[in-house]
Amino acid sequence: MKQVKVLGPGCAKCKATYENVLEAIKQTGIEANVIKIEDLEEMMKYNVLTTPVLLIDEQAKVKGRIPSVQEITEFLKA
């Protein structure tokens, strides 16, 4: 099972990233545990400078922009 984390303080970009992650999972049918991290202290553990951040299996895939559903789908399949 994939571990997916979306890091961000709850801004519009962060919410859009989270929604795109859910849609990508739905489209691919891949089993994934999705966690949304909004706590600043928790985010600092990942050395985050810009949000949103998309982590898949603890690897940062996207920082500072909204990834498309298609892009997330590719990350999930890899």
Would you say residue 75 has pLDDT above 90? yes
Verdict on whether the full-model pTM lies above 0.95: no
Q: Is 71 a catalytic residue?
A: no
Selected catalytic residue, list 10, 11, 39, 68: 11
Report which of residues 56 and 49 the model is more confident about. Answer: 56
Q: What is the DSSP string of 10-48?
A: S-HHHHHHHHHHHHHHHHH---EEEEEE--HHHHHTTT-
Contact 33, 3 (CB under 8 A): yes
Identify the three-state secondary structure at position 74: helix
Name the catalytic one among 14, 55, 62, 76.
14
Give the Cα separation of 12 and 59 in Å (integer).
23
- At 78, the pLDDT band (50, 70, 90 cuts) reads confident
Q: What is the dihedral of CA 19, 14, 72, 25, to 10 degrees?
A: -30
pLDDT of residue 52: 96
pLDDT tens digits for 26-54?
999 999 999 999 999 999 999 888 999 99
- Domains of the chain: residue spans and CATH: 2-77 (3.40.30.10)
Q: Can 14 be counted among the known catalytic residues?
A: yes
